[in-house]
Amino acid sequence: MGLGDPVKQLTTAGEDKQRQKSASKADGRQYSLKNDALDKLKREAEEKGATHILIQSEVFTLTPVNAVKLVGVFYQ
């Protein structure tokens, strides 16, 4: 069984397949900003009835304000 096999059995939740959430703070640390963005994704996934989130990308930027952007897909 390949890594992608379990995902093939799931269906996407909601109309849009891809979601993006970000968190930023002038003096924010990457770890805490990532957790903030992930919490936002989890809340939205729960609203859509999703049971899994596949994170497709994570981007951390330093300027002008520290920010983390997560892009993921919700599955149910």
Q: What is the Cα–Cα distance from 24 to 44, expressed in whole angstroms?
A: 18
Confidence of residue 1 (pLDDT cuts 50, 70, 90): very low
Query: What confidence tens digit (pLDDT) does each residue in 10-44 have?
Result: 777 765 567 888 888 888 888 898 999 999 999 99
Give residue 43's pLDDT. 92
Residue 21: which of 63, 53, 64, 62 has the closest Cα? 53
**Domain limits, the chain:** 12-75
**pTM as predicted:** 0.78
Q: Would you give the DSSP letter of residue 21?
A: E
Q: Strand runs (DSSP E) across the chain, as ranges?
A: 19-25, 52-61, 66-75
Q: What is the Cα–Cα distance from 63 to 6, expressed in whole angstroms?
A: 38
Contact criterion met (CB below 8 Å) for 53 and 6: no
